[in-house]
Structure formats: C-alpha cells, structure tokens
Amino acid sequence: MFQALLLPGRSLADADVRAWLDRWPGRVYAQSGPRGTEVTLARRIRPRPRERWWLHLLLLALTVAAATVAGAALVDGNPLGIRNSSVGGIAIPVPTRLTPMAAAPGLWFSLPLLLILGVHELGHYTLARRHGMDVSPPYFIPAPWMVSLIGTFGAFIRLRSPLLNRAVLLDVGAAGPLAGFALSVPAVAVGLAMSRTVADPLPPWAAGVRIGVLANGELLPMGQSALFALLRTLSPVGDAPFVALHPLALAGWLGLFFTALNLFPVSQLDGGHVVYALSRRAHRPAGVLTIVLLLALSWGWPGWMAWAVLVLVIGRGRLAHPPVFDPDFRLSPARRAVAWACIAIFFATLVPVPFPL
C-alpha cells in the first residue's frame, strides 16, 4: 500500500515531523520541497508468499553441472566423449562418457561465472528487500552444452511489488550490474595472468583478433571491450599478438559482456531503469538510439539483431518504461553519481563485435 502526503510549511528538521514519521510501521520516503515536506508512506498489506527454495537450489545445481561441462569443453574440447550416431540417416550427437575428473577442469569456468551471475542477481535482490519489496530469490537457467556453449542462459529474479519512486528504481536497477562488474574485473585480471600467449600464426580469416579460446586446436575468436583491452595491456601477457584465455579469464570476459548487455539504456533492462531514474524525458530517445545502435552493430555480429528483438519482447513491443508510483521524487547527488557511473561502465564494457566471423 502506498500513500503520498504533503505537510505544508513543515520541514524534515522539525522534531515533531520526524517523530511522526518514525511511528509509521513501514517504509518512509521524505524530502523537503518548495511547498513543505513531501512524504510517501509504504507498508505491506499481504504476507510474503512462501519461496520454493528446493526449485531455486535444483536449478542452481543443474546450472553448475551444465556450466562445468561447458567449461571442460573449453579445456579438452570433448568432455562428454561425443560421438555421432546415425538414426534414420541423420547424425545425432550422443555422449559416451562423463566422469567427475573429466569435467573437473571446467570448475575454473563455471564457479566464477555463476558467482558473477549470482552476485548480479543478489544485488537486485538485496536492494529490493532493503526497500521492503516483495522479490523472489534468483532463478538460474541451465542449458545443455550443445545448446549453450557456456551451459546457461543466465539468471533472473521476479519483482512482485510495484516500484515506489525513481530512487528505489535506481537502487534496484543499478545494484546488479555494479555487483557483477565488481567481481568481473578481478576475474579478468587474475585470469589473464593465468592465460597463455600463442606465437603460431592464426588463420587468415582471424587476422586482427587478439584474444580467444583454443580447444583441441580449434579457435573461437573474441572481441575486446575498452576495459578488457586495458586490463590485458596491464597484465603479464602485455602486448602479445594473441592470448588464449584461461577459463577464469573467459568467465570474467562474459561477466563484463553480460554487464554491458544489461546496461543497454532501453526498455526494462537495468540500463533502462537507470536512465529512467536519471531523466524520464531521456528514456525514450535513449531507447530509440539503442535500437538503432543494435541494428548498426548487427552488421559486425548478427547476435545484436537477436538482442534487439529480445529487448522488444521484454518490453512487449514498447520502448517506454512503466511508470513508478511517485515519479517526482528527486535523486540525491550520490544517486546521480551512481547512475552516471553505470553509463560509463556500459561504454567501457561494450564489445562491438563479440565474436568476429
């Protein structure tokens, strides 16, 4: 339940105003305005639903297993012993073996990656709970290695409460990318120190590629964001012509990549929340420019086209952001600084061509 009040001619410095607000059995958002103290009161009127923790833990366990197998594939190329079996003249890949020791090297990839993804969602979860919102624990999405090369389609939480004001929107929206970013940077730094340089010439089609994954002689070329390129330059591999990423470095690369994906300033992505909180008027133009940017980037990597379509699906075909209960609640200077930091992180982590063709 939300309720907005105006106390004409009163300020937050008034002792009786503070005493009155302290008696409210819920969340209080108050700020001084030109007409007096502007107050929004919020409290829960229904009990929280019981969480199905068994489901969250099961999905997490399945995702750890799938991502570990995917990580092992980046080390020896075939941890499942895949063999093609002909069924009606159609080649069907069938796993022939899997032992814990065969998949164990994949833990260098799966554990840091899922930690980054989990901390991202826990950032949203923690700030939502701090604001008294009803929110689910993270749902991890496992995926077979033959469907997703990283063994997962990510994670998400469900917000079951409406957003009260732009300050709450910014806190919840920015917490995830900032938390994931904070873990991705050291993962990249340590992972690069464990990576190896390759002196052999690359295939002609990979000219200009500086990083990638090598498994059983097969090359998966990868692009670099501005931040990753800087961390690479500062790492022990320095200016080597080509760096074969250690699974830990790959997990950090993906963490930065997912941070940029979430910070695109459009629709209901985390970046869309940040821009809407910063300026409601700027949200729609930013969304239109984002779609144009994604379409332009798709000339270098078709995956950006799929992301543009997914963004439109998330927004149900609209670029507009859903309104909040109190859109006029002002952001503090500290919150504005956080919003601009998220925008800077977006540009620093964006990879124009993630996987050169």
- CA 84 to chain centroid, in Å, comes to 35
* Six token digits for residue 99: 């032992």
Is the model's pLDDT at 216 over the cut of 70? no
Q: Which of 356, 148, 109, 351 is nearest to 249 (CA)?
A: 109
Q: Which residues lie below 8 Å from residue 258, measured CB to CB, with a gap of 6+?
A: 116, 117, 120, 154, 180
DSSP lists the bridge partners of residue 6 as: 38
* Six token digits for residue 123: 């950032």
Please state at what angle helix 107-130 crosses helix 53-76, rounded to 10 degrees. 150
Q: Looking at residue 29, what is its pLDDT?
A: 80
**Average confidence (pLDDT) over 88-101:** 65
Convert the pLDDT of each residue in 124-149 to its tens digit.
Answer: 999 999 888 889 999 999 998 777 88
For 343, phi then psi, to 5°, come to: -65, -40
Q: Looking at residue 20, what is its pLDDT?
A: 72
The pLDDT-based confidence of 168 (bands split at 50, 70, 90) is very high
Q: Looking at residue 5, what is its pLDDT?
A: 62
DSSP lists the bridge partners of residue 221 as: 212
Is the model's pLDDT at 117 over the cut of 90? yes
Is the model's pLDDT at 189 over the cut of 60? yes
Q: Report CA Rg, the chain.
A: 24
Q: Looking at residue 251, what is its pLDDT?
A: 96
**Average confidence (pLDDT) over 323-331:** 85
Is the model's pLDDT at 330 over the cut of 90? no
**Average confidence (pLDDT) over 57-78:** 86
Scan for tokens 């390759």, then name that residue: 198
What is the helix (H) or strand (E) element at residue 3, kind and residue range? strand 2-8
- CA 326 to chain centroid, in Å, comes to 27
Highest mean pLDDT among 76-80, 87-91, 96-100, 123-127: 123-127
Is the model's pLDDT at 84 over the cut of 80? no
Q: Looking at residue 100, what is its pLDDT?
A: 67
Q: Looking at residue 92, what is its pLDDT?
A: 64
Q: Could you give the C-alpha distances from 336 to 89, 119, 167, 343, in angstroms and in order?
A: 61, 23, 9, 11
Return the C-alpha torsion angle 213, 214, 220, 222, nearest 10: 30
Which one is predicted more confidently, 223 or 86? 223
Q: Which residues lie below 8 Å from residue 245, measured CB to CB, with a gap of 6+?
A: 191, 192, 195, 211, 212, 213, 222, 253
Percent of the chain residues past pLDDT 70, beyond the cut: 86
Highest mean pLDDT among 16-30, 151-165, 333-347: 333-347
Taking the whole predicted model, whether its pTM rises above 0.95 is answered as no
Q: Which residues lie below 8 Å from residue 282, measured CB to CB, with a gap of 6+?
A: 275
* Six token digits for residue 228: 């990753």
Q: How far apart are CA 37 and CA 198, in angstroms?
A: 64
Q: Looking at residue 145, what is its pLDDT?
A: 72
Q: How far apart are CA 300 and CA 222, in angstroms?
A: 12
Q: Which amino acid is at 289?
A: L
The pLDDT-based confidence of 115 (bands split at 50, 70, 90) is very high
Task: List strands edge to edge, sheet with 2-8.
Answer: 2-8, 36-42, 27-33
Q: Looking at residue 276, what is its pLDDT?
A: 94
Which one is predicted more confidently, 307 or 2? 307
Mean pLDDT of the chain: 86
Q: Which of 182, 181, 189 is nearest to 248 (CA)?
A: 189
